[in-house]
Structure 1
Amino acid sequence: MRWESWSQFWDMGGYGLYVWGSMAVTALCLVVEVWLARQAQRQALALARTEVEEAP
């Protein structure tokens, strides 16, 4: 596709709100997923450390 200007690119033929909105939601979901995965990893490592320290 070719656009005459940047404003036409951002507008996407009238579908810009849907295109860029879906891109933003997808990016947000990916960021939240990475954040939750890191948080779960930290909790699992902390639990493993406490279990190793408490082992006889």
Structure 2
Amino acid sequence: MHFSSLSDFLAMGGYGFYVWLSFGLSWLSLIGIIVSTLLKRRSLLEELRNKQARESRRQAARQMENTL
């Protein structure tokens, strides 16, 4: 399908509103998924760091307890 002008392209033969709305919602969904994934990753990494630090403290306490 060939369009003679930019406004014809944006109008999409009278269906432009639906076409661009679907593109917009698709992009919005993809961006939401990406942001959600990045936030979850950050949360999991922080939880892992806390768990490792806690385990290090427990191990140090056990060693200290054994030396007393």
TM-score, length-scaled by structure 2: 0.80
Matched residue, 1:17: 17
Q: How many residues align?
A: 56
Where 2:4 maps in the other structure, the secondary structure is coil
Where 2:25 maps in the other structure, the secondary structure is helix
**Counterparts of 1:1-56 in structure 2 under 5 Å?**
1-55=1-55, 56=59
The separation in 1 between residues aligned to 2:9 and 2:38, in whole angstroms, is 36
- Structure 1: segments with no counterpart, 5+ residues: none
Task: Select the structure with the greater relative contact order (CA < 8 A; seq sep ≥ 6).
Answer: 1
TM-score, length-scaled by structure 1: 0.96
Identity, % of aligned positions: 32
> Cα deviations across residues 7-51 of structure 1 (Å, max 9, x unaligned)?
100000000000000000000001111000000000000000000
- For the aligned residue pairs, the C-alpha RMSD in angstroms reads 0.5
Structure with higher Rg: it is 2
Runs ≥4 residues deviating over 4 A: none
Counterpart code for 2:3: W
- Structure 2: segments with no counterpart, 5+ residues: 60-68
